[in-house]
Amino acid sequence: MKVTHSPLPGCIILEPTVFEDSRGYFYESFNEARFNELTSQQVHFVQDNQSFSSYCVLRGLHFQQGKHAQAKLVRVLRGKVLDVAVDIRPESPTFGNHFSIELSAENRLQLFIPRGFAHGFVVLSEEAEFFYKCDNYYNKASEGSILFSDKDLNIDWRIKPEQALVSDKDIESDSFAAFKQTVTNTAAIIGKELLC
């Protein structure tokens, strides 16, 4: 397996070693010991999720907060998507930056997204099946989202904004500026508590 580091610390691209012959192909899509060794991570995945979507369906930008934060290992089983990770770690030098990569059944690439990132994807093919592993269980009360079309983030989704098929919940997501303000206020409150 080949490992490539993205410009965002901790966000890693994985390319499997594929064995092909006249019968088809075989590859190991995940091996925990090998993954942890190659990526210098200590991740134990506990939940697998899979979704089916049509062209221009956009899901994101989602994240889980606090003790329910999730790291994800994402890939595409059928079709093609543009996958996007946004660094929402306030202490990170790349806070507010994003990284995007095309994931497809053909290129077989996977993207590891550590805790402290918002994540989303848009379908670029007629249909797509999207699969991801999580290292923490989903908790509805801890979910958050940032508006996919936020002007501060300025993400090129490779489709026109008006083409995006987005859930009502995602349309009502916070702006990145509102998210930053919440993070700043929370940090200030925690700081005051520590000083008391």
Q: Is the pLDDT of residue 39 over 90?
A: no
Write down the pLDDT at residue 153. Answer: 97
Write down the pLDDT at residue 38. Answer: 87
Average pLDDT, the chain: 93
Write down the pLDDT at residue 193. Answer: 40
Region 144-173: mean pLDDT is 96
Q: Is the pLDDT of residue 192 over 60?
A: no
Residue 141 gets which letter from DSSP? G
Q: Residue 111: is the preceding peptide bond cis (ω within 30°)?
A: no
The set of catalytic residues is 62, 132
> With bands split at pLDDT 50, 70 and 90, how would you rate the model's confidence at 41?
confident
**CATH code for position 171:** 2.60.120.10
Write down the pLDDT at residue 196. Answer: 35
pTM of the model: 0.91
Q: Which of 61-75, 122-136, 179-193 has the lowest mean pLDDT?
A: 179-193
Q: Is the pLDDT of residue 68 over 90?
A: yes
Q: Is the pLDDT of residue 104 over 50?
A: yes
Task: Tally the domains of the chain.
Answer: 1
Edge to edge, the sheet with strand 110-113 lists: 2-5, 12-15, 110-113, 72-78, 127-134, 47-54
Distance CA 132, CA 74 (A): 4
Q: Domain residues for 80?
A: 2-195
Write down the pLDDT at residue 188. Answer: 52
Q: Report the Cα 111 to chain-centroid distance in Å.
A: 8
Write down the pLDDT at residue 187. Answer: 58
Q: Is the pLDDT of residue 32 over 50?
A: yes
Handedness of CA 173, 179, 185, 191 (dihedral sign): positive
Q: Is the pLDDT of residue 83 over 60?
A: yes
